[in-house]
Amino acid sequence: MEVYPLTREEVFMKIKEIVTGRFEIDEDKINESVRIKEDLEADSIAIMEFVLELEDAFDSEISDEDAEKIETLGAAVDYVMAHQ
């Protein structure tokens, strides 16, 4: 079975689903400019769990170094798009 790369919109929708399940934020306020630490009020443990969920959702591994660079949901989308 061939797997086609996801579109940017598909990646964002999956990430949005993760965010709504993990953080207390109105779904209509979720966009690519949302900052993970500041806007989602995520501490280091919450960020680590979010990264683990990204890895599971997109069947990829994100190094600690790369995870530190993911500061917004848009950056998360960019990372997934570049590594799928």
Cα-based torsion angle of the residue sequence 78, 7, 41, 59 in order, rounded to the nearest 10 degrees: -80
> Catalytic residue at 43?
yes
Q: Are 8 and 58 in contact (CB under 8 A)?
A: no
d(CA 34, CA 8): 16
Q: Check 26, 28, 39, 43 and give the catalytic one.
A: 43
Active site residues: 43
